[in-house]
Amino acid sequence: MDIQQIEKMNSYLSFKLGEEIFASDVSKVLNILEMVRITEVPQSPPYIKGVINLRGDVLPVVDTRIKFGLSAIEFTKHTCILVMDITLNGESIKIGALVDSVLEVMEISDSKLKPPPTIGDKYKTEFIASMIEFNDQFIMILDVDKVFTTDEIADLKDSIEPTEKDDKEKKPVEKPKTVAKKTVAKKIAPNKK
């Protein structure tokens, strides 16, 4: 009797930025929020859209499209904010990432993961952990811990520190609503060949 080796399955949340599909390990996504008013932060880097109030905490919101070298995000009814947990130098930092739309949760086995491509200097591939081929297209799996450099995290902290003090003197910002879990609860199996 043969003993079959059990393949390790990982869960990834897929989302769109422009025409491209990306995914992140679901353990890095803390929440999916509907769009709310974002308070701009003066003199912040171009990719920082501003901040929102997340249950009493100030959450910096990043325009992920600008961060990835695409045009700025155009807001639609599908635009949402992924609350991401990023680890930098052993410290856990929460960042809101604007995405065009959230697609679904995918269950992918380790054997289906392919190494990121080497495509020259035009694209930053250091934050692509791996790729998967799904339904005749490639999906890039992000290493969200590498998406932001140490300098960029310092920029984020510098940008929101004055805002925290100012926000105490102002009325609270509208609190975001969590998108219903059923919108991303659909699970799919990897392609079988």
Burial 134-152 (b: 16+ CB within 10 A, else e): beeeebbbbebeebbeeeb
Query: Which stretches of the chain score pLDDT less than 50?
Result: 1-3, 122, 163-173, 175, 180-193
Task: Give domain limits for the chain.
Answer: 9-182
What is the per-residue pLDDT for 18?
A: 87
Name the amino acid, one letter, at 118.
Answer: T
User: In terms of CATH architecture, what is 9-182?
Assistant: Beta Barrel (2.40)
Spell out the alpha helix ranges (H) of the chain: 64-67, 144-147, 150-169
What is the model's pTM? Answer: 0.72
Cα(81)–Cα(52) distance, integer angstroms: 10
Nearest to 86 by CA among 31, 128, 148: 148
What is the per-residue pLDDT for 115?
A: 84
Cα(101)–Cα(183) distance, integer angstroms: 11
What is the per-residue pLDDT for 1?
A: 43
Cα(13)–Cα(89) distance, integer angstroms: 25
